[in-house]
Amino acid sequence: MSANDVSALLWRERELLEMLLFKLEEEQLLLTAGKTRWLQHATREVEQVLDRLRAAGLTRTIEVSALAQEWGAREDATLRDLVAAAPEGTWTDIFQGHLSAMTELAAQIKEVRDGNERHLRAAVRSTQETIADLNPDAGIYTADGASSASTGSANLVDTSL
């Protein structure tokens, strides 16, 4: 495969990374707006983009390896290694541009993903606290599912009848 073909694969992978960032930001907007009804759809879309990224990454690894061998680098070369092995001139600049852009996108994706995780943890904690406050005297459940709440507390009984 030629350097031009590898560059085209890298462009496609960059587009997928941008799509992943977009889908994660959509998910974040749903979380911050409290629109959890649509969260499952957004999560499914993130997973679909991740599947496409895995396939593109595998293809890229194979093609970068072939090009790296052509340029005299080791067989298991990374994109960073390919930049170092590239002939002086245009290809070094092109592949360095891909590497820089993909590194920046990965950092942005990590930041948004971590923010989404914080939102989800806060939502779970809030839900747990709300449920716990609904019936504080519910007691503990036994192995058969019955409530073990004590009913032996004092009761007011009107005996004047």
Domains and CATH numbers, the chain: 3-134 (1.20.58)
Q: Is the pLDDT of residue 114 over 60?
A: yes
Give 147's strand partners: 141
Q: Give the rounded percent of residues in the chain with a pLDDT score beyond 90.
A: 67
Helix (H, G, I), strand (E, B) or coil at 141: strand
Phi then psi for 147, rounded to 5 degrees?
Answer: -80, 135
Q: Is the pLDDT of residue 7 over 90?
A: yes
Dist CA 4 CA 13 (whole Å):
14
Residue 13's identity, in one-letter code, is E
pLDDT at 128: 82
Nearest Cα to Cα of residue 140 among 149, 131, 132: 149
C-alpha dihedral (20, 25, 29, 32), degrees to nearest 10: 110
Cβ count within 10 A of residue 120 = 14
Please write the tens of the pLDDT for every residue from 130-146. 787 776 555 666 777 67
Contact 85, 68 (CB under 8 A): yes
Which helix (H) or strand (E) is 140 found in, with range? none
Dist CA 4 CA 15 (whole Å):
17
Please write the tens of the pLDDT for every residue from 44-95. 999 999 999 999 999 999 999 999 999 999 989 999 999 999 988 899 999 9
